[in-house]
Structures are given as structure tokens and as C-alpha cells.
């Protein structure tokens, strides 16, 4: 199943810089591994925000929840999820 996910990160201002840097490094490694294995298909930064739009390709709602809650920044995020399906006018056969 494909899901469109908007993630907005709000790190606390009193979070020590070294802790923030460590969490961000873990987040990058985790997200890049999910991209390599095909679960995190697309990620785009939203200009001017600490936020992104992403497309996930996972088995179901439960797997998406597992993937998202595994994000090191999860506790600092506001997340909005929309399930996706192929549009009948799409010319791309590989987006199912």
C-alpha cells in the first residue's frame, strides 16, 4: 500500500545540541535504510520548514505505524497520513 505522509519536526529549544545531532544522525541512517529497501519511496523537503512530504510503500496500516514510530524523531513530530492508490488516468504502470 502507498501512503502520502507529511512529517513536521518540532525539536524542543532546550534539547542539548549534542543530543539533537545524535538523534538526527540516527534518523538519517534509519530513513536511508528504509529508502534502500523500498519502503520509503520518495522524500521531499518542504521549503522553509523542518518538514517533509514522503511516500511510503508498506504492507498495511500496521506496518506504516511500525515504520513511523521507529523514527528517532517520532516523539518530536506531527504526522499526517493519507492512503494512496493509482489514479486511473496515470500513464505510469509501476506506481501501483
Whether the model clears a pTM of 0.85, i.e. scores above it, the answer is yes
| pLDDT band with cut points at 50, 70 and 90 for residue 96 | low
pLDDT (0 to 100) of residue 90: 87
Phi and psi torsions of 57, nearest 5°: -125, 95
Q: Examine residue 69 and state whether it is found in any structural domain, yes or no.
A: yes
Angle at 76 between CA 73 and CA 79, to 5 degrees: 90
Predicted local distance difference test score (pLDDT) of residue 93: 77
Q: Is residue 66 part of a domain?
A: yes
Number of domains in the chain: 1
Residue 89 lies in a domain: no
| Phi, psi torsion values for 64, nearest 5 degrees | -60, -45
CATH classification of the domain holding 52: 3.30.70.1060
3-state SS assignment for residue 92: coil
Determine, yes or no, domain membership for 92.
no
pLDDT, tens digit (0-9, with 9 covering 90-100), for 37-75: 999 999 999 999 999 999 999 999 999 999 999 999 999
Quote the domain boundaries for residue 20: 2-84
In a domain, 94, yes or no: no
Q: Residue 20 contacts by C-beta under 8 Å, 6 or more apart in sequence?
A: 11
Is 64 within the bounds of a domain? yes
pLDDT digits (tens, 9 = 90+) for 9-48: 999 999 999 999 999 999 999 999 999 999 999 999 999 9
Amino acid at each position: 500500500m502507498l501512503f502520502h505522509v507529511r512529517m513536521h519536526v518540532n525539536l524542543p529549544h532546550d534539547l542539548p545540541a549534542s543530543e539533537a545531532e545524535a538523534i538526527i544522525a540516527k534518523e538519517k541512517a534509519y530513513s536511508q535504510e528504509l529508502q534502500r529497501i523500498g519502503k520509503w519511496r520518495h522524500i521531499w523537503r518542504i521549503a522553509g520548514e523542518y518538514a517533509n512530504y514522503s511516500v511510503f510503500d508498506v504492507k498495511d496500516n500496521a506496518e506504516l505505524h511500525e515504520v513511523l514510530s521507529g523514527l528517532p524523531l517520532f516523539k518530536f513530530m506531527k504526522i499526517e497520513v493519507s492512503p494512496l492508490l493509482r489514479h486511473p488516468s496515470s500513464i505510469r504502470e509501476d506506481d501501483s
